[in-house]
Amino acid sequence: MQLLEKYSHTSRDSLIPILQDVHDELGYLSEESLSAIGKHLNVPTSKIYGLATFYNQFRFQPKGKHHIQVCHGSSCHLMGAVTLLETIEKILKIKPGQTSRDGKFSLEVVSCVGACAQSPVISVNGKAYGKLTIERLEHIVEELSSTELT
C-alpha cells in the first residue's frame, strides 16, 4: 500500500481520490485495501465500504483480462443494448459486475459514453466498438476468447 504514502495528510476529503487511485492500480477494491485505507484515514472500514458501494465506479471483483463495458444510455437502449448484453451474458455466462472463472472476461454496464451516433457501443479494455450487431459482437467475443492468456 505504497499508494497511501502519497496521501500523508489524512482527511476525509481525500478518501474518494485514494479509492480511485487504488482502483486504478488494482482494477478493483480488495478487502485488504479497504481495511488498509480505513486504518490510514482512521475511518471505519464499514463506512468506506458503504461509500464505495454507493458509487458506480468501484468494483469489488478483479477485472478480467478483457474488461467489457456495455453502454446503456437511452440511445444505445433504443438501438438494442439489452439484446447485446443478453448475448454477452449468455456467451460468457457472467452477469454485470462479475468476472468469469478463468479470469478472461469481466462485464460492466455503464451509463452513456457520449457516442450516441455510434450506438450501440461496447468497449473492451478502453477500445470502443460502435454500431454493433449481434453477429459482430459474437465475432468480437470469439476473437477475444481465442487469444491466449499471458
Q: Which three cell numbers stand for residue 79?
A: 438501438
Kindly write down the DSSP assignment for every residue of 14-59, as one continuous string. Answer: GHHHHHHHHHHHHSS--HHHHHHHHHHHT--HHHHHHHHHHSSS--
Q: With respect to another protein, which residue has the nearer C-beta, 17 or 62?
A: 17
What is the smallest separation between the CB atom of 133 and another protein, expressed in angstroms? 15
Give burial (CB, 10 Å; 0-12/13-18/19+) of 34.
Answer: buried
Min CB(77)–another protein separation in Å: 5
Q: Which residues in this chain contact another protein in the complex, by CB under 8 A?
A: 11-17, 19-20, 50-51, 54-58, 72-75, 77-78, 110-119, 121, 128-130
- Among residues 13 and 148, whose Cβ is nearest to another protein? 13
Closer by beta carbon to another protein, 15 or else 94:
15
- For residue 149, the minimal CB distance to another protein (Å) is 26
